Structure 1
Amino acid sequence: MTSPSASVLPAPAAWFAGIDLLGPPDEVTRQIVERTRECVRQGSAWLEARHRAGAGGHEGVAARAVLMDGLLRTLFELAVKRARILPAGRVALVANGGYGRGELSPGSDIDLILLHEETSRDAVEPLAHGVYYPLVDAGLEVGWSVRTVSECLEVARADLRTCTALLDLRCLAGDEGLAAALARALEREVIGPDREGFIRRKLEEQAERREKSGSSVYMLEPHVKEGEGGLRDIQTAIWIARARFGGLDLRELQARGVVSEKERLAVERALEFLWRVRNALHYASGRKADQLTFELQAKVAREFGYEDRPGHQGGEQFLQAYYQVAAEVEYYSTLLIARASRPGAGSTEILPLAPGFTLSGGLIRADLEALWWDPLNLLRAFALCQEHDAELDSTTQEQILAALPAAAPELRASAEAARLFRSILGVRRGVARALRQMNRLQVLGAYLPEFGSLYCQVQYEMYHVYTVDQHSIQAVEEIERLRDGRAGEQDPQLPALMAEVPAPEVLYLGALLHDIGKGKGGDHEHRALDLLRQLRESGTVVPVILTMFGRTLRQIAQAK
């Protein structure tokens, strides 16, 4: 047998040419299993070579899906021929989940359903054996079930993950009408009657997932698939939007006016990056590994062209690029979910706010002139988001980034800006959220350059799981939780003590700046003290104890 050309993706059918299906059954089975194994081995080697040569993320996941499509269709056809008769009734081999979307990374599970009518139950057993066992023998991770349409619906009602995976079903071989009937029945009998419930459960699932895999974009070992800003965030947003508005993917959502072309393109660019990172992780580890552990970061960084240089490790540089993409994912997925789930989502009503600002559909938009001619509006935008529990629209975010360099010196010298910033710190809830928004758009670092030097700074030490800037904002959030009564389980006295603090905004500022010395190298606590003296001379009041004695406080907190 001649191997397929190395210059093109191997055609699976070519590997099975010449098998005598009328020969001894055991020998036929042996040949099919061996050739399946060789097809997977050489196809995977071709895909890895393409990846090493610089193939994009989408090319990698799509080409692997194409390889599996061809293999599965061939195995299905061989199984039908070996049975010597077509099965009575209708049968379809259906992909679902990520494979249904045509997205397969090197270690991804291949989720399949052999869908059949009740009348064909006995006839599908040889088909199931003929498709499933060669795949498993080839070392593939296969999610497999043999079900009728009614059985699929029953499982979908009971299990949210199965229900969601079926939203992405795709017929590979057999009766396409049967697969289409399942898709229609899923919408008519499961999703349609309780859209609000489906959306609510997906949001609850997302919250649980983030709690388990990383509740921040800026984890030091981020989870590319399940963490915040990862692939699952985009998928969840699209599933929720589909449940609300219909459509199958981002292009159809754009056609329905749910997302703009600019938003679609931004998400597609992010997907391209994340897919390539995930592919690189799987190749570097030799398995399905979706977390960017310290051990794997350097390997993946080199694939993306990041090498160690004085003062900056390659892995650190790569992570900063990753965080920028993950932050985009978090923003656009949150935006899409808000449009589909927030009360008033989809509303075209435009409410005027402060001069130059409007609110519509949970998004705040600023006039171009408002941002460029009044630097205070760069801070005011976040105060309005805080007040109205809203996000900034993408155009306003872009304009803030553009206007910031010219406006920053005036902001830092403005007493009114200081009062506005202190008011943002002084509200009852939403302080940490506002600081995260400001930090992502680099307004926080422009206003407080001492904090700006911490932006996306990686710290390789056992005490931290976030970047330095996010660790500091997380400290603010913990104090905020004490202030509004959401914390205090370990020590019920803490909320009462927090209530006695006369100026919580000053405590927030101290927590925010407690690690600023790390942005300058050396002994960060003594360096921070020098920076704090400069801040105090400029009129900023900061609790020095949080910064100067941070190490001592940590030792006290960890003492038993």
Structure 2
Amino acid sequence: MSAMSKLKSALSHPDEDVALPEALPTAEMLTTRLANLADGDLRPDALRAGILALMRQTLDQGRALIRRRLENGGRGEVCLREATALTDAIVVSLADFALHRVFPTAGPTRGEKFAVVATGGYGRKEMAPFSDVDLLFLLPYKRTPRIEQVVEYVLYLLWDLGLKVGHAVRSVDECVRQALGDITIRTSLLEARFLYGDDKLYAEFRKRFAKEVVANTGPAFIEAKLAERDSRHLKFCDSRYVLEPNVKEGKGGLRDLQTLYWIAKYVYQVDKVKDLVANGVLLAEEAQRFAKAQNFLWTCRCHLHYLTGRGEDRLTFDVQGEMARRLGYTDHAGTSDVERFMKHYFLMAKDVGDLTRIICATLEQESQRPPRFAFLRRLKPSELEGFVIDNGRLSIRDDRHFRDKPVDMVRLFRVAQWHNLDIHPKALRALARSISTLGPKVRNDPEANRLFLEILGSRKDPEVTLRRMNEAGVLGRFLPDFGRVVAQMQYDMYHMFTVDEHTLFAMGILHDIEKGNLKDEVPMACEVIHIVSSKRAQSVALMMHDVAKGRGGDHYILGAKVAEKLCPRLGMPEEETETGG
């Protein structure tokens, strides 16, 4: 039988589980099939062609199966795990084949042993359809000629399969040294996962990484990752409500959740965010919110990759409609399928923001990261207008505070604004658990409305405080009409953000005009703003200017009617109501 005939024969009888597109292949199955090819006495070039044909067939069938399952209503979490498993099977079987069949040796020395390790997103088993394959070839000492041959053989096969492979070949010493000097390498190695080879070598690496890199560097790592996050947010407009959001890198996206995962894993040595519940960092319901938001974003990203046919992570206008249909959204109650999908997306991004704020604040505090006002750390919790200052943050004494004093759900933000204080995660959690008590009684309370008007009219930027209120869900509960436009899309060429985000940005710009910070951009506005008869009427009018969008009809006419009812409730006289409306 000729070499080509042997090759065709070997490929025409694949294992049943691989041939039938109902189950993904395992490394053991592929190793057996590769061994069958090698036993066919093929020439090296024919053998390599056979290996590529087998692996390409495996990859194509596996990808088709994973995609079909997702598009038939599967979860993004399953899609990622299956893509990881498929890649594992290919990488492990090729490494084993290269080591034992292509470059065999009777008695390998200690220096010829190595481990294949998955890093980055591949390491944490989060492979989207077009994700990179990040590999570390871990060595005990310096490279040997044989190990270099094995590594090259495996890499060239993976590249020829069309996989995007990022790789490093390092000794344990090199891993430790480079991790200490580079936060990106350190983060990647934090997610290292053993695939194949010398497991004792991998265990040595994990032990030294924990002892020499992670130990006593928690605060510095948190500082670096949060700075990295802030820089990334600025690059993506520093808003989670951009109308064409980036599912991976944007604010409120997967990278924010990954940052929380990295910090949690680094500080608490846990492999899953849900394990933070036992450490008291997360409540059980917060861990559930984390998992729900993560799976939603994973599902979006996987569908987006399949829809665009590439590693695209932006939900651009041209794909949002098809994404909505793929994810099962339908028109309902005057709202289109795409509007419902995008509102759901932005609400999930808001959840990510809530969790980020709470978890990071808790981790910063527990790792002894200095607060904004370092001298306050030396003080015991002290009283401040019915609240307490705890490590430089405004907090409460007990979890029933807002249930007993519901008006304080508004007062909390006014006091924080006036004293330039951050809000403690304990207060935010208690607020979330008590938010249902913010109903008509609080909305019609004169003190609550007075406090809200003070927030709007403060000389201190109201945008920051209003944004905090919106993130906590208080703003939409206190102003139900505003709550209707939270996370609402605006499909026109004049807006980049959702209605609520657009309004909050506008409030910040109004404050900058009042302070004279925009004299070069809008000199006339900076001049005439000081002759406005009622500053608070102006602020309320700006808050209400888009509040009736999405109701049909002229939103400015409908918005005026909303203002006519709201202004008296806020305690504004008829003259101001007419001006603001």
Work out which of the residue numbers 23, 27, 30 in structure 1 matches 2:46: 27
Secondary structure at the residue paired with 1:520? coil
Contact map agreement 1:528 1:547 (CA 8 A) in 2:
no
Which structure 2 residues correspond to residues 331-346 of structure 1 after superposition, within 5 A?
Answer: 331-342=354-365
Q: Tell me how far apart the structure 2 counterparts of residues 510 and 400 of structure 1 sit (CA, whole Å).
A: 29
Aligned-pair RMSD on alpha carbons?
A: 3.4
Work out which of the residue numbers 436, 444, 448 in structure 2 matches 1:413: 444
| Segment of structure 1 superposing worse, 366-375 or 115-124 | 366-375
Secondary structure at the residue paired with 1:210? helix
| Segment of structure 1 superposing worse, 508-517 or 37-46 | 508-517
In structure 2, give the amino acid aligned to 1:434.
T
Contact map agreement 1:517 1:525 (CA 8 A) in 2:
yes
Contact map agreement 1:510 1:543 (CA 8 A) in 2:
no
Q: Which has the larger radius of gyration?
A: 2
Secondary structure at the residue paired with 1:312? coil
Identify the residue that residue 476 of structure 1 maps to in structure 2.
507
Q: CA deviation at 1:149?
A: 2.6
Q: CA deviation at 1:241?
A: 3.4
Work out which of the residue numbers 103, 120, 133 in structure 2 matches 1:83: 103
Q: Tell me how far apart the structure 2 counterparts of residues 543 and 110 of structure 1 sit (CA, whole Å).
A: 62
Q: CA deviation at 1:415?
A: 2.5
CA-to-partner distance for each residue in 1:392-412, whole Å, 9 max, x for gaps? 5464234333213xx22x334
Identify the residue that residue 510 of structure 1 maps to in structure 2.
541
Secondary structure at the residue paired with 1:521? coil
Is 1:36 matched with 2:70?
no
Q: Tell me how far apart the structure 1 counterparts of residues 515 and 164 of structure 2 sit (CA, whole Å).
A: 47
Identify the residue that residue 397 of structure 1 maps to in structure 2.
431
Work out which of the residue numbers 492, 495, 498 in structure 2 matches 1:467: 498
In structure 1, give the amino acid aligned to 2:272.
D
CA-to-partner distance for each residue in 1:172-208, whole Å, 9 max, x for gaps? 1111232333333334444446443332221211011
Which structure 2 residues correspond to residues 135-534 of structure 1 after superposition, within 5 A?
Answer: 135-192=158-215, 194-309=217-332, 311-342=334-365, 355=386, 362=393, 364-365=395-396, 370-372=401-403, 374-386=405-417, 387=419, 388-391=421-424, 393=426, 395-404=429-438, 407-408=439-440, 410-429=441-460, 431-481=462-512, 488=518, 490-491=520-521, 506-534=537-565
In structure 2, give the amino acid aligned to 1:509.
V
Contact map agreement 2:190 2:266 (CA 8 A) in 1:
no
Q: Tell me how far apart the structure 1 counterparts of residues 434 and 45 of structure 2 sit (CA, whole Å).
A: 69
Unaligned runs of 5+ in 2: 1-12, 370-376
Secondary structure at the residue paired with 1:55? coil
Q: Tell me how far apart the structure 2 counterparts of residues 446 and 313 of structure 1 sit (CA, whole Å).
A: 24
Is 1:67 matched with 2:82?
no
In structure 1, give the amino acid aligned to 2:430.
T
Q: CA deviation at 1:473?
A: 0.6
Q: Indicate how the Cα distance of structure 1 residues 135 and 544 shifts in structure 2: closer, same or farther if over 3 A, else same.
A: farther
Q: So what's the TM-score if we normalise by structure 2?
A: 0.83
Secondary structure at the residue paired with 2:196? strand
Secondary structure at the residue paired with 1:146? strand
Identity of aligned residues (%): 31
Q: CA deviation at 1:236?
A: 1.0
Contact map agreement 2:247 2:314 (CA 8 A) in 1:
yes
CA-to-partner distance for each residue in 1:459-512, whole Å, 9 max, x for gaps? 011221111111001111233456678x54955979985995887655443332
Q: Give the number of aligned pairs.
A: 543
Q: Indicate how the Cα distance of structure 1 residues 184 and 507 shifts in structure 2: closer, same or farther if over 3 A, else same.
A: farther
Secondary structure at the residue paired with 2:545? coil
Q: Indicate how the Cα distance of structure 1 residues 403 and 359 shifts in structure 2: closer, same or farther if over 3 A, else same.
A: farther
Identify the residue that residue 25 of structure 2 maps to in structure 1.
10
Q: CA deviation at 1:247?
A: 3.3
Identify the residue that residue 111 of structure 1 maps to in structure 2.
134
Q: Tell me how far apart the structure 1 counterparts of residues 130 and 510 of structure 2 sit (CA, whole Å).
A: 41
Contact map agreement 1:511 1:546 (CA 8 A) in 2:
no
Q: CA deviation at 1:163?
A: 1.9
| Segment of structure 1 superposing worse, 539-548 or 265-274 | 539-548
Q: So what's the TM-score if we normalise by structure 1?
A: 0.86
In structure 2, give the amino acid aligned to 1:56.
R
Contact map agreement 2:142 2:171 (CA 8 A) in 1:
no
Q: Indicate how the Cα distance of structure 1 residues 31 and 349 shifts in structure 2: closer, same or farther if over 3 A, else same.
A: farther
Q: CA deviation at 1:115?
A: 1.6
Contact map agreement 1:76 1:127 (CA 8 A) in 2:
yes
Unaligned runs of 5+ in 1: 549-560
Q: Indicate how the Cα distance of structure 1 residues 163 and 367 shifts in structure 2: closer, same or farther if over 3 A, else same.
A: closer
Identify the residue that residue 551 of structure 1 maps to in structure 2.
none
Q: CA deviation at 1:77?
A: 0.3
Is 1:46 matched with 2:65?
yes
Q: CA deviation at 1:315?
A: 1.2
Q: Tell me how far apart the structure 2 counterparts of residues 430 and 327 of structure 1 sit (CA, whole Å).
A: 22
Is 1:100 matched with 2:123?
yes
Q: Tell me how far apart the structure 2 counterparts of residues 196 and 310 of structure 1 sit (CA, whole Å).
A: 49
Secondary structure at the residue paired with 2:500? helix
In structure 2, give the amino acid aligned to 1:421.
F
